[in-house]
Structure 1
Amino acid sequence: MDAFRTHEIDLSPPQPNERRRFPTFTKRQTDIVTIIALFAWTIAVFDYGLLGTLLPAMQQSFGWTPATSYAVNTWISVGSAIVAFGLGPVIDRLGRKKGMMITVGGTAIVSALTAAIPVGLAAMSAGLIVIVRAFGGLGFSEQAVNATYINEVYQVTEDERKRKRPGYYYAWIQGGWPLGFMFASALSLLLLDVVGWRGLYLVATIPAAVLVWVISRSIKETPQFQLHHRLNELERSGKTDAAHALAASYNIEHSSSAPLKRIWEPHMRRNTIAFSIAWIVNFFGIMSFSILGSSVLKNAKGVHLSEAFWMLIIINLIAYFGYVFHGWLGDKIGRKPTIIIGWIISSIFFALMLSPAVSNPTLIILTYAGGLFFLVGPYAAIQYFMAECYPVSCRATGVTFIGAMSQPGIIIGGALFTMIAASLGTGAAALWIGAGGIFISGLVMVFTKRPREVDLEEAHV
């Protein structure tokens, strides 16, 4: 199945003033990587989305109150944050391919273990769910692996279209988020009464396990990472001058600093802070309207659970094209303005959806779909934009670190959501925490900026 036929990257000691270029990915190789990345993210989100989709059913099975189920979701996010924070440096050390295998494989294991958690152990059952589902942070971090890997592949591809319009093509991959949630809702609707929520988690293990095997056979590392890996080997061997000479031959600036330290260097610190804040508050909205979508429809708009599943299937299908639209728009007007405009429009749609004026199913679907279209769609732009804002040496660390900020966003947002929902109801919580967070995140994105170091790297690929 290995379709990679291009020459390997030259990692031998260079001659003085020698200039080298990275080997390329053929169009076929690039297409294979693109398809696998889409499947990897969709499958990871399928497992991730099952938790929110099945939360009402799990709540009933374990005998939780709505407030307790929200609290369990929040504590899961605490554990997921710990797992996700540690993954970036691992990917920068082990590679993009192995990172994809770890994240997708971790998803299969987490799904299987979730199905095995027994009922009837009171608080212990809730604790076991929190511990197991915390490793769902592996699956969620798959998008950071994708963003890093695809960014580097599209830089060196022979496919002219993908090299010139990377945001548009990456958007189809990042669209795995609504597709994963759509499949979670669709299978829940079809199979929940047949196999129960445990059976659905077992179903989720199958495609993830198969894809790990496919990844192991079908894709190779990017030449950028191969160079980065060799530079680290030279550095660890004390051959610092050789590392700098090899890096210079590819017009790469080599740094001896650890990747986690690099993203806090003065010329990158502003991006790290701004992106992190934007993700934290934006995930107030993701938590409210994507992860807890069925709960919001049921508790805030009075929609029956089975009807909520139907609505979310339609809503997430529409949202998929939000990725395509924002990927296309990001290539046209720039990724940064695309993100800012999209998130501000999203907050307005969700505020309308939660208002008393929207009460019939058609209007609920239209306003909810509009909100989700402009909420998740900009992630096609922001994932690629973040990868453009860090050099190869710390790209996966930067993208994964920022992506991990989604979990503090869910933790903080979940705590605030639970407090407001307990006193004022789910609708008020979704409005002030969900829609409000989305609006603020759009404003924070104004402070991000692509560094010159990345421009110099990409000019030589």
Structure 2
Amino acid sequence: MAVAGTVDERARPMTREERKVIIASSVGTIFEWYDFYLAGSLAANIAANFFAGVNPTAAFIFTLLGFAAGFAVRPFGALFFGSLGDLIGRKYTFLVTMTLMGIATFVVGLLPGYASIGIAAPILFIACRLLQGLALGGEYGGAATYVAEHAPQGRRGFYTSWIQTTATVGLFLSLLVILALRLSLTPEQFADWGWRVPFLVSILLLAVSIWIRLQLQESPAFQRMKAEGKGSKTPLREAFGVWKNAKIALIALFGGTAGQAAVWYTGQFYALFFLTQTLKLDGTTSNIVIAVALAIGTPFFIFFGWLSDKIGRKPIILAGCALAMVTYFPLFHALTNAVNPALNAAIEKSPVVVVADPNECSFQFNPTGTASFTSSCDIAKSFLARNSVNYANQAAPAGTPAQIKVGDKVVTSFDKAKAGADGAAKERAFNTDATAAIRAAGYPAAADKTKINMTMVIVILTILVIYVTMVYGPIAALLVELFPTRIRYSGMSLPYHIGNGWFGGFLPPTAFAIVAATGNIYSGLWYPIAVAGMTLVIGLLFMPETKDRDIYAED
């Protein structure tokens, strides 16, 4: 009986109304992700404009933190808008979130820089990022829930996989817009005002997205729940205050979305940061190769969503985590060799050592901008981190000025706090001598574009994107199926946005800080590997398979 109905549902073609639901939901979500990703794609320009009052290394870290600030508040947006979506409906809630996102993004394009308004510039930029994060915290859960509640039994993985493409398509769209501007403007024009254009044109995308979504009706599952009077009056309390449901949320987070987020942000964002900041590949070429990899890999979201309807959500997601754990180090080593073989050769042939008193070496991660790294050790390590130079640490007697040993060359650092009026001159001399030493040892100032193995670069980046599609393609269906209708929007949104907002969103600045602290350009990969490993173990032990669940059931 039920089996026959299920077979018919799986065999029939997608209806016109279902297609409309998927297209309208996806278009709006693509727009939101496009807005959200601009800050990451334009990190260098944002650092130069809004964080110009600090040194370049700190400015880049602060920009990554500004990027992450939007992720930090996503769980709070999930709580507020998730509750609203379970109370008043999916459609109206994600209309509100989309409008909030569009306005905040447009304002970023209008903000004066640090040179004009000083410290107010980074404060206002981060405020806009926080509003974007709140909006996105409510958007994804609404769109995924809305599509899943329109999908027939046995095809939710396939239907919701279209929503899963939107994050990557949004990133792809942002990269294409930025690339078109870079190619049509001079570098000076782009740095001056061109980088603002992608933020400003988003207001047009907002208008189109709102018009499309206004054509939609409320989801049938929500309408049925309301008609039967079975809605929750306190969805947050029921979702997270009742242990039966809270336990599901914890399993979804640690056994699903945390590892999914780590793999996702490594494959798309950390890969881009690694290309531009570590391998010194120019921004235009970096955007091109990432865009090509995304174009090749994006159809796999649909494939793995469809496959999860056949074999289950759990095995595909956990296989993606396992593959990432095993292959990240060799893949990123291969990426270095393909993009910047001179850097790879220098690391192998010309090891660098920082000899310093361990007591004067700081962990150079300063999210508040209040610390000052002035010791000879900090100055030496900061220089090497900026220039993507691997280094080992060697202890020196207390009170000894730090030294950088590059082969048989030794460059002595200085303590800026003790240098007094001579500080600027000593810094120039140190930078000149240290730069000469690392260049003589073969450490390049930038990747040589004539030496890049472009085919290998695209192959490696595509593999990273395919891992992303494995963990992300089935995740929406899995989360929807874990929670009953009356608390579904709230229940699925919070673990998703803690996983992606915190475990994923903080990956770039965390990895960057680990690299700066250890002196190894690959050490930041331990963060996503550890998170993916946690999800693999917890998912194997505690995550149920959900593909055959009836989402209309109350428990």
**Band the TM-score falls in, shorter-chain normalisation:** 0.7 to 0.9
For 1:128, the equivalent position in structure 2 comes to 124
Is residue 304 from structure 1 mapped to residue 294 from structure 2 by the alignment? Answer: no
User: Is this contact kept in 2: 1:141–1:403, CA < 8 A?
Assistant: no
| CA-CA distance at 1:170 after TM superposition | 2.3
Percent identity between matched residues is: 19
CA–CA separation in structure 2 for the residues paired with 1:264 and 1:301: 47
* Superposition map of 1:2-151 within 5 A: 27-62=15-50, 63=52, 64=56, 65-120=59-114, 121-137=117-133, 138-139=135-136, 141-151=138-148
Is residue 210 from structure 1 mapped to residue 208 from structure 2 by the alignment? Answer: yes
Letter in 2 for 1:149: Y
| CA-CA distance at 1:180 after TM superposition | 1.0
Is residue 443 from structure 1 mapped to residue 437 from structure 2 by the alignment? Answer: no
User: Is this contact kept in 1: 2:312–2:547, CA < 8 A?
Assistant: no
Letter in 2 for 1:457: Y
Deviations 1:348-380 (A, max 9, x none): 443322115752233232122212211244322
Letter in 1 for 2:197: G
2:474 is paired with a residue whose SS is helix
TM-score by length of 1: 0.80
User: Is this contact kept in 2: 1:301–1:354, CA < 8 A?
Assistant: no
Q: Which moved more, 1:439-448 or 1:396-405?
A: 439-448
1:83 is paired with a residue whose SS is helix
For 1:4, the equivalent position in structure 2 comes to none
User: Is this contact kept in 1: 2:93–2:138, CA < 8 A?
Assistant: no
Counterpart among 165, 180, 184 of residue 174 in structure 2 = 184
Question: Is the radius of gyration larger for structure 1 or structure 2?
Answer: 2
User: Is this contact kept in 2: 1:288–1:296, CA < 8 A?
Assistant: no
| CA-CA distance at 1:429 after TM superposition | 4.6
| CA-CA distance at 1:149 after TM superposition | 0.6
User: Is this contact kept in 2: 1:89–1:260, CA < 8 A?
Assistant: no
TM-score by length of 2: 0.67
Letter in 1 for 2:468: L
| CA-CA distance at 1:52 after TM superposition | 0.9
For 1:196, the equivalent position in structure 2 comes to 194
For 1:152, the equivalent position in structure 2 comes to 149
For 1:407, the equivalent position in structure 2 comes to 501
For 1:434, the equivalent position in structure 2 comes to 528
User: Is this contact kept in 1: 2:79–2:493, CA < 8 A?
Assistant: yes
2:217 is paired with a residue whose SS is coil
| CA-CA distance at 1:48 after TM superposition | 1.5
| CA-CA distance at 1:81 after TM superposition | 3.6
User: Is this contact kept in 2: 1:182–1:316, CA < 8 A?
Assistant: yes
User: Is this contact kept in 2: 1:101–1:215, CA < 8 A?
Assistant: yes
User: Is this contact kept in 2: 1:171–1:323, CA < 8 A?
Assistant: yes
For 1:261, the equivalent position in structure 2 comes to 238
| CA-CA distance at 1:434 after TM superposition | 2.9
CA–CA separation in structure 2 for the residues paired with 1:373 and 1:414: 20
Q: 1:442 to 1:326 in 2, by over 3 A?
A: farther
Show structure 1 runs of 4+ deviating over 4 A. Answer: 254-257, 450-454
Letter in 2 for 1:152: E
User: Is this contact kept in 2: 1:354–1:427, CA < 8 A?
Assistant: no
For 1:8, the equivalent position in structure 2 comes to none
Q: 1:94 to 1:299 in 2, by over 3 A?
A: same
| CA-CA distance at 1:55 after TM superposition | 0.9
Is residue 393 from structure 1 mapped to residue 381 from structure 2 by the alignment? Answer: no
CA–CA separation in structure 1 for the residues paired with 2:553 and 2:76: 32
Letter in 1 for 2:211: W
1:372 is paired with a residue whose SS is helix
Letter in 2 for 1:126: P
Letter in 1 for 2:81: L
1:355 is paired with a residue whose SS is helix
Q: 1:74 to 1:255 in 2, by over 3 A?
A: closer
User: Is this contact kept in 1: 2:76–2:137, CA < 8 A?
Assistant: no
CA–CA separation in structure 1 for the residues paired with 2:159 and 2:547: 24
User: Is this contact kept in 2: 1:42–1:177, CA < 8 A?
Assistant: yes
| CA-CA distance at 1:57 after TM superposition | 1.9
Deviations 1:6-29 (A, max 9, x none): xxxxxxxxxxxxxxxxxxxx9221
Deviations 1:307-350 (A, max 9, x none): 10101111211231220121122011101111111222234443
Deviations 1:92-113 (A, max 9, x none): 1121111221222222112111
Q: 1:323 to 1:53 in 2, by over 3 A?
A: same
CA–CA separation in structure 2 for the residues paired with 1:396 and 1:66: 35
For 2:261, the equivalent position in structure 1 comes to 283
Deviations 1:224-259 (A, max 9, x none): 21233456xxxxxxxxxxx4xxx5xxxxxx666534
Letter in 2 for 1:202: L
| CA-CA distance at 1:281 after TM superposition | 4.6
| CA-CA distance at 1:292 after TM superposition | 4.4
CA–CA separation in structure 2 for the residues paired with 1:38 and 1:123: 37
CA–CA separation in structure 1 for the residues paired with 2:200 and 2:28: 17
| CA-CA distance at 1:264 after TM superposition | 4.7
Deviations 1:275-314 (A, max 9, x none): 1224235434434442344322112333221110101111
CA RMSD of aligned residues (A): 2.9
Counterpart among 250, 268, 275 of residue 273 in structure 1 = 250
User: Is this contact kept in 2: 1:347–1:438, CA < 8 A?
Assistant: yes
User: Is this contact kept in 2: 1:283–1:413, CA < 8 A?
Assistant: no
Q: 1:76 to 1:258 in 2, by over 3 A?
A: closer
Q: 1:429 to 1:83 in 2, by over 3 A?
A: farther
User: Is this contact kept in 2: 1:300–1:354, CA < 8 A?
Assistant: no
Instruction: Give unmatched runs, 5+ long, in structure 2.
Output: 1-13, 339-453
CA–CA separation in structure 1 for the residues paired with 2:76 and 2:248: 21
2:76 is paired with a residue whose SS is helix
For 1:354, the equivalent position in structure 2 comes to 332
| CA-CA distance at 1:413 after TM superposition | 3.5
CA–CA separation in structure 1 for the residues paired with 2:288 and 2:101: 25
User: Is this contact kept in 1: 2:75–2:494, CA < 8 A?
Assistant: no
Q: 1:348 to 1:371 in 2, by over 3 A?
A: farther
